[in-house]
Amino acid sequence: MSLSIHAPIPELYVSHDSAQKLKIEAGNLPSWDLTARQVCDLELLATGAFSPLDRFMGQTDYQGVLDDMRLTSGHVFSLPVTLPVEPNPALHVDQDIALRKCQKRAPGGHDADGMYEWNRDEMAQKAFGT
């Protein structure tokens, strides 16, 4: 498998006009209030700092990073970048949700590719060696 080290950084920002439309749409979507850590992860995704990621990891990438420090694309990635949420009957797979910063405006949106349970002990051991 050949990987490009010069892959373009994912562009996750939207134009001003699109942002205005998305803000209106976000008012009608189920929402999740982000923790401070989740806001930081969202900002790192949006700016390309977590490149090649263009979204929070799904289960396959999550497990690949824990087991082999690799994404399904083959890129090396050492720590999982996920959006942990508590069970919520209003949230469903393949549904747009508004991500809210401290119950205020929505800094982002996310289309959940999948929901999965994760093991805190496994993640602590494999990701941090503790």
**Is the pLDDT score of 110 beyond 70?**
no
Give the C-alpha separation, 43 to 69, whole Å: 22
**Is the pLDDT score of 118 beyond 90?**
no
Give the C-alpha separation, 41 to 32, whole Å: 14
| pLDDT tens-place string over residues 56-83 | 999 999 999 999 999 999 999 999 999 8
The average pLDDT across 103-115 equals 55
Higher pLDDT, 106 or 95: 95
Q: Which of 52, 108, 62 is nearest to 82 (CA)?
A: 62
pTM tops 0.85 = no
CATH class of 31-83+92-128: alpha beta
| pLDDT tens-place string over residues 5-57 | 666 776 777 888 988 898 888 888 888 888 889 999 999 998 889 999 999 99
Whole-number pLDDT of residue 61 = 96
